[in-house]
Structure 1
């Protein structure tokens, strides 16, 4: 049995990786595990929650999946990529996929472009119909500063783990990502010592890479990588 652990990002939920998990459910008979970290989900309750609880929940899901599976893949989006890399370094896995993984974060030049685009939409009265904007607006409003500091602590703690990742690794990064810059993907590619690794850029994609305009290309890259013989 093949098991695949799919990890969402900071302030997110399984929705963030849903296009990929839906595709895998439709095209494979694999066992998928898509945990939700404490305080996360559609209703955020992040105040007072330590980042170690997020790591612990992902680790618990991984160990449960490993008991049931002969082969284990890890797919992590954004903060989930950082946790996924940590699990791959600590326990090993058969393949690792990092989507917009946040080894570094905030891309000022792209954020300026995104803000200008949102201003234009706002002037036209279209922001209320912009689903991803509404999701991020709600996240911003519901995320306490303490939780953001916990996210930063998690990233700083887990970044060194990538120096020990030996699993074949696919890194996918949107070039128009306003939250995670290209240097994050470049850092991961240079740091991971695995013999087999691939870095793929999607030119038009922003941070929510699984839901963006190059979704089909993303899913194809992920699926082909997972289906390749090791």
Structure 2
């Protein structure tokens, strides 16, 4: 399909994953005529099976370089998943951004809630002793999607030092939220077993944007773009970018 005149979109995947995590959404956007690009974060482009350690300044630098490349005529839309959403928030505090789409933003580990600082300290301490841990199965409730996503995972381990760095990024982003004024759509699975779902509403209340909305997907785990409510996710994002109600 011929591309629309809308701003370009840049998709940012999550920690330990890849562009495939947002693929159903990015494919739908391309089918709707949007220009969509995806970045592979440093530390995520190797063959595996061991996930290398990498740090949030490296991830942000890679994303900002891509933003600078594609933002020739107008600021881009940033579409971030999980830690990719946290990166998108940080970049939006430093670069002009047309809009933000944040899917399952990583702002606290699941079940930690307001005790997140204690959980963060525990992850950092464990990372010094056990840098690599076995990778868990894909956090998605749709069985066919889980099977397909497991085959796409190139890593069989998960880097705790990288996870500790992602927690440091949350600390850097939190005081910046009030300065982020780009229109923002937050999409959160109610059954998320990776990030704390209640932090989506917490984020909504702290963003400086006047145009902001939170959508809760009742049947989704963390990988919402692949889960049972993926069609609604796509419809909500298309409406948000097109300015129409879904």
* Whole-angstrom CA distance in 2 between matches of 1:15 and 1:129: 12
Preserved contact between residue 82 and residue 103 of structure 1 (Cα < 8 Å): yes
- TM-score normalised by length of structure 2: 0.77
Give, in angstroms, the shift of residue 84 of structure 1: 0.6
Cα-to-partner distance string for 1:56-83 (whole Å, 9 max, x where unaligned): 111111111112x425211111001011
Partner of 1:191: 206
* Whole-angstrom CA distance in 2 between matches of 1:128 and 1:213: 11
Cα-to-partner distance string for 1:144-172 (whole Å, 9 max, x where unaligned): 32222222222222232222110111111
Partner of 1:94: 98
Residue-pair matches, total: 210
The equivalences for 1:152-167 within 5 A come to: 152-167=167-182
Cα separation, partners in 2 of 1:128 and 1:5, compared to 1, 3 Å? closer
Matched, 1:228 2:243: yes
Partner of 1:66: 71
* Whole-angstrom CA distance in 2 between matches of 1:90 and 1:221: 26
Specify every segment of 5 or more residues in structure 1 that has no aligned partner in the other structure, as ranges: 109-117, 119-126
Matched, 1:172 2:187: yes
The equivalences for 1:1-40 within 5 A come to: 1=5, 2-28=7-33, 30-40=34-44
* Whole-angstrom CA distance in 2 between matches of 1:53 and 1:46: 15
Matched, 1:75 2:79: yes
Specify every segment of 5 or more residues in structure 2 that has no aligned partner in the other structure, as ranges: 113-136, 138-142
Preserved contact between residue 17 and residue 153 of structure 2 (Cα < 8 Å): no
Give, in angstroms, the shift of residue 92 of structure 1: 2.5
Cα-to-partner distance string for 1:19-40 (whole Å, 9 max, x where unaligned): 0110111111x33220100111
Preserved contact between residue 128 and residue 134 of structure 1 (Cα < 8 Å): no
Preserved contact between residue 175 and residue 181 of structure 1 (Cα < 8 Å): no
Matched, 1:84 2:88: yes
Cα separation, partners in 2 of 1:136 and 1:101, compared to 1, 3 Å? farther
The equivalences for 1:114-153 within 5 A come to: 130-131=146-147, 134=150, 139=155, 141-153=156-168
Backbone CA RMSD of aligned residues: 2.6
* Whole-angstrom CA distance in 2 between matches of 1:129 and 1:15: 12
More helix by share: 1
- TM-score normalised by length of structure 1: 0.82
Preserved contact between residue 99 and residue 171 of structure 1 (Cα < 8 Å): yes
* Whole-angstrom CA distance in 1 between matches of 2:30 and 2:144: 32
Preserved contact between residue 13 and residue 42 of structure 1 (Cα < 8 Å): no
Cα separation, partners in 2 of 1:163 and 1:128, compared to 1, 3 Å? closer
Aligned to 2:187, the other structure's residue is in SS state strand
